[in-house]
Amino acid sequence: MAPVSLEDNVPSKGRELTTRIVPAIEEERKTTWRHFFWDAWDKTPEERRLIFKVDITLMTFGCLGTFIKYIDRSNLNTAFVSGMKEEMSLYGNELNYANTAYSVANIIGLWPVSIALTRSTPRYFIPLMETGWTICTLGQAFMRTPLQMYVMRFLLGLFETGHWSSIIYLCGAWYQKRELSRRIAIMNCATSIGPMFSSYLQAAAYTGLNGVHGLSGWRWLFIIDTVISVGIIIPQFFFYPDVPARQQPSIVFSEAEIELARDRNPKEGRVKQGAFTWAQAKRCVTTPDIFLLWLISVCNSVAHLPSDSMAFWFKAWNTIKPGSYTVPQINNYTTPLGGVTVILTLVFAWSSDTWLKGRRWPMLVVGGVVTGIVCILLAATPVFPQNEAFRWFLYYNTNWAFAANTMFWSWTQDTLPLFAFKTVDQPAVVGGNWGAAGMAFLYAIAALTLAHIQYKRENKSLEAEVETSSTEHSG
């Protein structure tokens, strides 16, 4: 006798519900200890091959693109403490204004860029964005006035806006829910590795290239970043995947693999984009999830700002005790902060995908609470203590909330630094640190609130499905 499946015992009217439940049960049944190390190891050979190809294209390009984005984003702060401040006479809040110009460009460009992505081919769209900001990076090597700096940072922000959301959009189309968190975490590590690499590059450029061809070491940093970016961008024009619904057979993906990708994610893989409707727009502004995610993101963008003060803190010691830190030391001593963030990011992501069974909010809460405590200590303790080690420790732990940011992605924009984290107040920024502490705790509260709303909604949905199924059985 042929084996009887669970679906065979369900009346035809109830099979729609079953087709959603059975695959989830079977997937859970197939999960073994190997899933805790890497989810693809529990898949069929065909799925493993497909996921491997998506990993070496989409995830690799996502990592590299994010890497150069954060190099090009962070190099201004790195250059500022490496001679740019003195050469361009930036003794006021010019650095804040430049960063504000970047944020304003993000605000202006995010929605148009995000919508444009759904109507274009990522293989060309994403590398073109990267090409645009690479040109702006090169332009910063030759800026002479604050106005030129503002213009370059505005254009940089305009081209960078939507890059991360574009990558996440593609990941959501190719990967299943339980495959997302760890991969996003790996890509998110580039947000910390990029600034680390930028600091090491600046230290090397200041030591070996300062004055070469009449250019300061900080100007060479922008030139080197440009060269690295070009090498990363070129292959993307040939191998970047589209969403499965629009993907065509290529030297990377066969027709069978594309069909498998569409079957794995039917909602994301087969539904092609239609027209953007007013109903969709209304849903965007009336759904509480959207506002809570936005709130979490805004709080996160402020809560991690004290980490930027570390380089200013080292530089400020030279006014208290001249010769305390050299330019290479200032750049090198800030890099462990990125290393701590990378470790936390991976721990949070693996925890979310394994023993937390896909729940995102616990790590958001942990990250927010720890960052809040650290920011309170930064605000309440002396800026220049006799024992520097404790403040070093605090700065290295300011990015817990930022590391937990892997649990969600967002389009946060930052305008508060102009008021709370003024350059002229660095590295003390006591008011800014108190504000960051409040944002960190609010970040954790927003995460808990969103988890509670979604938990209640899922329970209601499950009860409704069970009631519908029971009615159909009795009918």
pLDDT, one tens digit per residue, over 131-182 is: 999 999 999 999 999 999 999 999 999 998 888 888 888 888 898 877 877 8
Sorted by sequence, the CB contacts under 8 Å of residue 54 that are 6+ apart come out as 174, 175, 241, 261
Walk me through the domains of the chain, giving residue ranges and CATH numbers: 37-269 (1.20.1250.20), 286-475 (1.20.1250.20)
Residue with tokens 């250059």: 79
Is residue 445 within 8 Å of 322, Cβ to Cβ?
Answer: no
Phi/psi at 384 (nearest 5 deg)? Answer: -120, 75
Residue with tokens 């061809």: 213
User: How sure is the predictor about 16, in pLDDT bands with cuts at 50, 70 and 90?
Assistant: very low
Average pLDDT over residues 275-301: 66
Taking CA atoms, 451 is separated from 177, 446, 457, in Å, by: 17, 9, 10
Is residue 117 within 8 Å of 166, Cβ to Cβ?
Answer: yes
Least confident of 9-18, 159-168, 274-283, 434-443: 9-18
Is residue 256 within 8 Å of 267, Cβ to Cβ?
Answer: no
Sorted by sequence, the CB contacts under 8 Å of residue 69 that are 6+ apart come out as 130, 133, 160, 163, 164, 190, 194
CB neighbour burial string for 212-224, b if at least 16 within 10 angstroms, e if fewer: eeebbbbbbbbbb
- Residue 229, SS3 per DSSP: helix
pLDDT, one tens digit per residue, over 225-245 is: 999 999 999 999 999 999 888
Average pLDDT over residues 23-38: 56
The token duo for 437 is 């502490």
The whole-number pLDDT of residue 284 equals 59
Average pLDDT over residues 40-56: 89
The whole-number pLDDT of residue 137 equals 94
Q: What is the chain's mean pLDDT, rounded?
A: 78
- pTM for the model stands at 0.65
Least confident of 31-45, 156-170, 252-266, 279-293: 279-293
Average pLDDT over residues 262-267: 76
The yes-or-no verdict on residue 212 having pLDDT over 70 is yes
The whole-number pLDDT of residue 403 equals 80
Is residue 154 within 8 Å of 104, Cβ to Cβ?
Answer: yes
The whole-number pLDDT of residue 145 equals 94
